[in-house]
Amino acid sequence: MATSAPRPSAEAQIGVYDCAITLKFRILEDSHVMANRDQLLEQLIDAFSYGTDEFVEQLESQIEISEVAEVAASPLMRRQLIRLRNLPSA
């Protein structure tokens, strides 16, 4: 994951969001890769991000995003939100 966010534009409204992503696809892959649970999610997302090809077939994708109250975020995330809002506009 990235440790920094891009600077917001003057019109940007920064908030806290809950995001749920459902991906369903078929993939041709070595069974040893599929058995390694530590790297499985990363491998699947990498394969999906390259798009449909002869090894990956997209079946379904769904994204749900909803804004939540800032107090629902962790203290670390709230501090980061304050930092982003206080960045000088370029």
Q: What is the pLDDT of residue 7?
A: 56
Q: Please give the chain's pLDDT, 90 residues, in tens.
A: 455 555 555 556 889 999 998 988 888 888 887 788 778 888 888 877 887 788 888 889 899 999 999 999 999 999 999 999 888 875
3 within domain boundaries: no
Q: How many domains, the chain?
A: 1
1 within domain boundaries: no
Q: What is the pLDDT of residue 27?
A: 83
Please tell me the distance from the alpha carbon of residue 84 to that of residue 59, in angstroms, as a whole number. 37
Please tell me the distance from the alpha carbon of residue 87 to that of residue 90, in angstroms, as a whole number. 9
Q: How far is CA 15 from the centre of its chain?
A: 15
Whether the CB-CB separation of 70 and 78 falls below 8 Å is answered with yes
Whether the CB-CB separation of 17 and 64 falls below 8 Å is answered with no
- Residue span of the structural domain in which 54 resides: 16-84
Q: What is the pLDDT of residue 43?
A: 80
